[in-house]
Amino acid sequence: MTTSDEQLILITGASTGMGAATARELARRGYHVLAGVRRQADADALRTTGVEPVLLDITEPEQIEAITRRIADDPAGRPLRAVINNAGIAVNAPVELLSMPEWRHQFEVNLFGHIAVTKAVLPALHASSGRVVNISSIGGKVAMPTYGAYAGAKFAMEAMSDALRRELAPHGVQVVVVEPGGVRTEMTGRGIERMNETVAAMTAVERGRYGGLLQAVISHATAFTKSGLSAEAAGRIIAEAATARRPRTRYTIGRDAAMLTRLSRILSDRLLDRLLAADLRPHFPKGQQATAVAH
């Protein structure tokens, strides 16, 4: 087998957070990491020994084609050990309020872009008996209120990963899913900013219907993130999923993710509804807690 310093690993969404931490951890382990970023400023900040930033917007076919050429024409002839599909966005709003362009954009980034990257690099992974690592979420198992679009794309990512794993296993290519829970990353902060923008743009009727819920979700997401793992701790788990000799089919990140994943398998829908409502209820503005009860 080739050693780590003779292998490439491609990771998308590496500008900040878990992606950047994973790129640095893989480089520390000796791999040459092609770290996908969308802006040159992010590339300059990320560049270090073993980390080669590449401009890669996974919704742009030309940039996906460019990275496949970079892999095929690697100056050292190094094989592609793994692709880590990590890029993502979070736009939270009730199903009724989220516009159709926003729905489509979230699926383009959180699902279809990953499929496009995976399809493009699969020939290289077939040649190296490599690995696909898909970064899902606890939202791929449990859909909280206002997470319809985000969780919908992650549920689909889970299903696609299962199908892909069963298709590729006979051909020596492994597929692994990683399901983070609370992790302290910039993406959560950007998601909270977007939710505040949604609240500000609501009509009086919409605010009466969903204002309390959105305020509760913002408060819950803030607390959830503060108590979560560091990006560096998450990066170590993702790096292990990408490089372990005998990887599991799924890894969770954080005790919250492990617990909710188990509960989603054993509780009825109604019991899970009540559990999630109870968890969210303390975050509602005063006087609105009663409306948070799931019936």
What is the pLDDT, as a whole number, of residue 289?
A: 58
Q: Using one digit for the tens of pLDDT, what is the confidence trace for 35-65?
A: 999 999 999 999 999 999 999 999 999 999 9
Torsion of CA 153, 185, 92, 161, to 10 degrees: 10
What is the pLDDT, as a whole number, of residue 94?
A: 95
Structure tokens at 208: 């009466």
Q: Which fold has domain 4-184+229-256?
A: Rossmann fold (3.40.50)
Q: What residues contact 133, with CB distance under 8 A and at least 6 apart?
A: 82, 83, 84, 85, 175, 176, 177, 178, 238, 241, 242
Torsion of CA 280, 285, 287, 288, to 10 degrees: -50
Q: Which positions are catalytic?
A: 150
Model pTM score: 0.91
CA–CA separation, 107 and 69 (whole Å): 26
CA–CA separation, 36 and 51 (whole Å): 10
Q: Using one digit for the tens of pLDDT, what is the confidence trace for 75-119?
A: 999 999 999 999 999 989 999 999 999 999 999 999 999 999 999
Query: How would you classify residue 183: left for phi > 0, otherwise alpha for psi between -120 and 50, otherwise beta?
Result: beta
Question: Residue 1 — very low, low, confident or very high, per pLDDT cuts 50/70/90?
Answer: very low
What is the pLDDT, as a whole number, of residue 16?
A: 93
Query: Is the pLDDT confidence value at 294 over 70?
Result: no
Q: What percent of the chain has pLDDT over 90?
A: 79
What is the pLDDT, as a whole number, of residue 98?
A: 94
Query: Is the pLDDT confidence value at 281 over 60?
Result: yes
Give the residue extent of every domain in the chain. 4-184+229-256
